[in-house]
Structure 1
């Protein structure tokens, strides 16, 4: 008979082993992939030709996955559209789609490839995960047959979804997410899921949630995954077209991680002709590693270490009251005349920053933005403005914004303020930006000359100030507090027509 003391020793040994399996830190990888695009055709290609094109892209992903695993990565994220590209109609994308089962089916495609019908892409991704002992995140297309008794069934008899899949280190399908917020042209190719999906899964190195590209600008599922499901890390395949000054990939994705208090793994498609670049590994305290390249067409692997549970880290600052400081400050009087200008089709109210140092306030509707600053030298050939926007953005989606921004103008002509700028020469020795925000969802951005981030060079105070006491390593393009008022997204307004695609 085994003694009670021996039982106790065995139990302690097992519990100790379980604790060692739970990792405090993990190594993450994201791969920015220059996707090989299909030829634009009006008729679908054969299934064999579709698989051949996807295999060419997966050959490149395979190299990245192996390199990431060899460098100790526990998980790798690959881009949206990274396996078949984006030159499709609803009809021509169909040969590229597979039936992706519910992860509750407990399926390892690598060892049981025919269980749910032909699935060569899922099979190969599963084997890449299994053979390299790494979690693999990819974006592919899902197809689901439907019948006439389903009133929403499309006329071609099936649904098709923009879909993220996750295979664990054994090659098992552990997550499937159907994109909920389709970007403009996607609506002619893919179907909306009937309800937003809140997809999470647990690992020895934290709890993960997943969504795709345009989803990040909306409440469901992005905010819910953090606020309700308490995920530690977001996985984010994207095909992100950069829009200066506030919506470049590295800028906004790092700001979202900081504003929401989560790790964020962003893998972008690389296609400079479509302004697609910018991938990174971001923590709530700032970027751990990122990549931005508009000069070449090369892919790039980014690897960095993260805390598995970032909100438990001693460096995590916790909740921020984004209006606390600004609401107590008297409005700084300015001698300058306010004027209006456009940033990404939104009409901002601006005031020019004219002095070597000073305090400025600009207001629009319920939002007042306060800036205190000092520059090393007030250059005559560069102009900066402080801007405020409080309203519904209505181009390529409707979403309500409150934005406070210090932004460099393209020239010394006031009419150029708000236009895209990539370089600057003015060095700020210090700055503090705050606003009377009506939302708790505010994302802090600092973008420097040459499209660089500023890790460790600014901080967010609990009273809602974005401050840099010692300046930045490079000249400033923009310092921004980008607020989202989700409950006002349904506001009515006229929507401009004939506006070009940008995001």
Structure 2
């Protein structure tokens, strides 16, 4: 009898990295996070080579199904901009302990339904949307919907790194009008902890909490990677670079001819 064993090994840590993980369609198989020192940790996990062919595999998610079928929850005149890792997001503040909000950027609209379990007065949460080309440490097109805690009550700090929180949520439901099938959910609790088993993704694309969160929330996010757009932008850059080179070469030839340079 022939058996196939797929093992993935991962290790990355250092002054600019805080850990790493091994992930599968059904969640994190193993991960390591450490901001206290530069000690590393070797991660080993077994993964299915074709997880979608397994009878236990969940059905495919239609990521924009729900978000595209509902009207915009709210028309907030107080949207503002902020940066997350050099990307300019459009934010709107969660001003009430519970409610429904929508924020849009370009073709992406993010919908949030939520209920906080005793919001702390010194904490501010926002709903953010980003639909654009990320150009730092690589170039790729992203669509992101995120619920996140700001670093302070100053809205200018929204998007800056946060590691702790005090506010829990009775429930949340996050969705977006994504133009890609490659969307990755993430829920981070206070202390930058993952929350395996405490949320789920419905077939219509909603990321929802199963029960009241057991730990205060830092962020709830849906990351969409639009590889086709990234590839198109890449070829546009190549075309422009080549076109610029050709024009420069033509100009150089004309100058040489005018000056009678061999």
The normalised TM-score by structure 1 is 0.44
Residues 393 and 399 of structure 1 are in contact (CA less than 8 Å); yes or no, is this contact kept in structure 2?
yes
SS at match of 1:350: strand
Whether 2:13 is the aligned partner of 1:270: answer: yes
Note the C-alpha offset of 1:425. 1.0
Partner Cα separation in structure 1 for residue 214 and residue 42 of structure 2: 25
Residues 19 and 40 of structure 2 are in contact (CA less than 8 Å); yes or no, is this contact kept in structure 1?
no
Note the C-alpha offset of 1:305. 5.5
Residues 429 and 469 of structure 1 are in contact (CA less than 8 Å); yes or no, is this contact kept in structure 2?
no
Matches within 5 A, 1:187-206: 204-206=4-6
SS at match of 1:450: coil
Residues 323 and 463 of structure 1 are in contact (CA less than 8 Å); yes or no, is this contact kept in structure 2?
yes
Whether 2:81 is the aligned partner of 1:281: answer: no
Note the C-alpha offset of 1:312. 4.3
Residues 268 and 277 of structure 1 are in contact (CA less than 8 Å); yes or no, is this contact kept in structure 2?
no
Q: Which has the larger radius of gyration?
A: 1
Note the C-alpha offset of 1:269. 2.2
Matching residue within 301, 319, 322 for 2:63:
322
The normalised TM-score by structure 2 is 0.82
Residues 459 and 468 of structure 1 are in contact (CA less than 8 Å); yes or no, is this contact kept in structure 2?
yes
Which residue is equivalent to 1:441? Answer: 182
SS at match of 2:193: coil
Residues 340 and 350 of structure 1 are in contact (CA less than 8 Å); yes or no, is this contact kept in structure 2?
yes
Residues 454 and 473 of structure 1 are in contact (CA less than 8 Å); yes or no, is this contact kept in structure 2?
no
Matching residue within 88, 93, 113 for 1:352:
93
Whether 2:197 is the aligned partner of 1:459: answer: no
Matches within 5 A, 1:39-438: 204-206=4-6, 235=8, 267-271=10-14, 273-274=15-16, 276-304=17-45, 309-335=50-76, 337-438=78-179
Residues 336 and 352 of structure 1 are in contact (CA less than 8 Å); yes or no, is this contact kept in structure 2?
no
Deviations 1:46-99 (A, max 9, x none): xxxxxxxxxxxxxxxxxxxxxxxxxxxxxxxxxxxxxxxxxxxxxxxxxxxxxx
Residues 11 and 43 of structure 2 are in contact (CA less than 8 Å); yes or no, is this contact kept in structure 1?
no
Whether 2:221 is the aligned partner of 1:480: answer: yes
Which residue is equivalent to 1:76? Answer: none
Output the aligned Cα RMSD. Answer: 2.1
Which residue is equivalent to 1:244? Answer: none
Note the C-alpha offset of 1:346. 1.2
Partner Cα separation in structure 2 for residue 411 and residue 448 of structure 1: 17
Which residue is equivalent to 1:99? Answer: none
Note the C-alpha offset of 1:372. 0.5
The answer to which structure has the higher helix fraction is 1
Note the C-alpha offset of 1:344. 1.1
Aligned length: 234
Structure 2: which 5+ residue stretches go unaligned?
A: 238-262
The answer to which structure has the higher strand fraction is 2
SS at match of 1:440: coil
Which residue is equivalent to 1:181? Answer: none
Partner Cα separation in structure 2 for residue 482 and residue 392 of structure 1: 13
Partner Cα separation in structure 2 for residue 368 and residue 400 of structure 1: 16
Note the C-alpha offset of 1:310. 3.1
Whether 2:181 is the aligned partner of 1:468: answer: no
